[in-house]
Structures are given as C-alpha cells and as structure tokens.
C-alpha cells in the first residue's frame, strides 16, 4: 500500500490530522476505526458542493434538470470515476477476505472511500477546502455541461434511440488501458452490430470513454437516418 502522502498530493490537500485520511480509506472489514461515518458526512458535503456548482452554472436550468444532473454526478459510477483518477485502490485498508476477493476494485468500496475522503477534508479543514478539492476533481465534467447535456447523457440517449427503433442494446468493450494507475487513459469500443456501427471512445475512466464512444455513435449518419 502506498504512502498517504501521495494521496494528499493527488488530492491537492495536506491534512493537519493524517489519522482522518487513514480512517477515510479504511473499510469496515479492516477494523473498528472504519470510514462509514466519514462517508455519511462526505456524501452531504458532495451533494451541497455539486448542487451549488450546478445552480451557479446557468440560470435557465430548471429544477428537474439540476436534480437529474446532480444525481448523475454524485452516484456510484461518477464516484468510481473520481476514485480511478485518484487511484484510491492503492491506499485502501481492507480485511483479508476483502483483499482476496478483489474488494479494492469493487465499485461500492471505491465510491464510499471517495465520499469518506471528502468528509475527512471537511473535518480536518473547512467546507471551503473540501469544496475546492471536489470542484477540482469534477472540473472536467462540469466544464462540459451544456443545456443539451443537462438532459440525458450520451449512453442513455443511445440506448433509448435503439430501443425505440427495436434494435439490440449497444455493446461496450474495453480495448486498451494505458498510463499509471492514478493517471490512466481508457479506450472503449461501442458496437451496434445491426447498424454496422463501431466507434472508439477515450477518457480518463471507463465511464468517460463509454460516454465518448456513445456520443460518436449518436453522430453517425446511419443512426441519424433512423430518426
């Protein structure tokens, strides 16, 4: 397991009480001092920070759009994306059973640890410092948000379009992962066999790469001609 100092560098935050960060990356299978209470706190901080960021972004986004996008940004998949950027699996304290079963890469454990880290920063510093870390990690996603993107993500739109035309669901396949664990680049193919469409997407997480591939598939002339 890597030093927590490296995780601090990746977060861009130095703890006054490093025990809080140690607790944030400790799963309940490891011991009594685990991260569940910090996870609860971090979830609240994250929801507030993302809600405020979306509220400040555009005046014309209605409540439904704001709620929908916030839910997408704070869900397990989004948190796993942040966990992959941080390489959180390198720092987790897990019990022997969880380690043997690959718990360090289990989405729920990774997502919970990220929320706990946000809670730990709030406890160690302030809301503003936790906010700064969260916004820096979410900046690539927040910068891409537009009125159209505030409705539904590309994967959802692609799936709905295919279902409405009675085609089979898209198939996503990882073809390559490059870079260090905390700075990986994913390449994913999306395949629509019935339409003879195959697109390659790239991103800093599997989720980002899948969204990129779905966006490219939606722009394909064969698909556009169906609607």
- One domain, residues 107 and 188: no
Distances (CA, A) of 218 to 65, 80, 159, 200, 224: 21, 25, 10, 12, 7
- Residue 173: inside a domain: yes
Give me the catalytic one of 43, 153, 210, 212: 43
Asked if residue 61 has pLDDT above 70, the reply is no
43 is catalytic: yes
Domain hosting 177: range is 154-224
- One domain, residues 168 and 68: no
Nearest to 175 by CA among 164, 190, 160, 162: 190
Nearest to 114 by CA among 98, 95, 138, 150: 138
Is there a contact between 133 and 115 (Cβ–Cβ < 8 Å)?
no
Q: What CATH number did the domain enclosing 19 receive?
A: 1.10.1520.10
- One domain, residues 126 and 217: no
- One domain, residues 120 and 170: no
> What's the DSSP call for residue 227?
-
- One domain, residues 49 and 116: yes
Among 86, 120, 143, the domain-final residue is: 143
- One domain, residues 34 and 84: yes
Q: What is the pLDDT of residues 90-127, one digit of tens each?
A: 999 999 888 888 888 888 999 999 999 999 999 999 99
Give me the catalytic one of 98, 115, 153, 212: 115
List the structure tokens of 4. Answer: 């927590």
Within a 10 A sphere around the Cβ of 28, how many other Cβ atoms?
15
Nearest to 25 by CA among 119, 123, 102, 96: 119
- Residue 60: inside a domain: yes
List the structure tokens of 39. Answer: 């996870």
Asked if residue 26 has pLDDT above 90, the reply is yes
Is there a contact between 172 and 188 (Cβ–Cβ < 8 Å)?
yes
- Residue 148: inside a domain: no
Asked if residue 150 has pLDDT above 60, the reply is no
Three-class SS state of 118: helix
Region class of 129: left (phi > 0), else alpha (psi between -120 and 50), else beta:
alpha
Residue 104 to residue 94: CA distance in whole angstroms: 7
> What's the DSSP call for residue 199?
E
Nearest to 158 by CA among 202, 206, 109, 213: 213
Residue 213 to residue 9: CA distance in whole angstroms: 31
- One domain, residues 128 and 164: no
Q: What is the pLDDT of residues 71-93, one digit of tens each?
A: 878 888 889 889 988 999 999 99
Asked if residue 174 has pLDDT above 90, the reply is yes
- Residue 47: inside a domain: yes
Q: Report the Cα–Cα distance between both ends of the chain, in Å, rounded.
A: 51
Q: What is the pLDDT of residue 58?
A: 64
- One domain, residues 84 and 25: yes
- One domain, residues 167 and 86: no
Averaged pLDDT for residues 178-206 = 88
183 is catalytic: no
Tally of domains in the chain: 2
Which class for 159: exposed (0-12), middle (13-18), buried (19 or more C-beta within 10 A)? middle
Q: What CATH number did the domain enclosing 207 receive?
A: 3.30.160.20
- One domain, residues 85 and 194: no
């Amino acid at each position: 397991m890597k030093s927590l100092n490296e995780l601090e560098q990746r977060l861009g935050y130095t703890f006054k009480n490093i025990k809080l960060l140690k607790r944030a990356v400790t799963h309940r299978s490891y011991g009594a001092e685990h991260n569940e209470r910090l996870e609860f706190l971090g979830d609240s901080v994250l929801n507030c920070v993302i809600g405020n960021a979306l509220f400040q972004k555009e005046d014309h986004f209605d409540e439904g759009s704001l709620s929908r996008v916030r839910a997408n940004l704070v869900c397990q998949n989004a948190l796993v994306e942040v966990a992959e950027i941080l390489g959180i699996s390198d720092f987790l304290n897990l019990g022997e059973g969880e380690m043997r079963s690959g718990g360090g890469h289990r989405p729920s454990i990774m997502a919970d640890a990220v929320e706990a880290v946000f809670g730990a920063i709030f406890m160690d510093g302030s809301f503003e410092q936790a906010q700064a870390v969260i916004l820096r990690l979410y900046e690539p996603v927040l910068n891409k948000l537009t009125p159209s993107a505030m409705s539904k993500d590309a994967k959802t739109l692609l799936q709905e379009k295919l279902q409405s035309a009675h085609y089979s669901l898209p198939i996503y396949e990882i073809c390559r992962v490059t870079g260090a664990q905390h700075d990986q680049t994913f390449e994913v193919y999306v395949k629509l066999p019935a339409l003879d469409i195959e697109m390659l997407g790239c991103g800093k997480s599997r989720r980002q790469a899948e969204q990129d591939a779905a966006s490219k598939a939606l722009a394909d002339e064969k698909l556009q001609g169906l609607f």
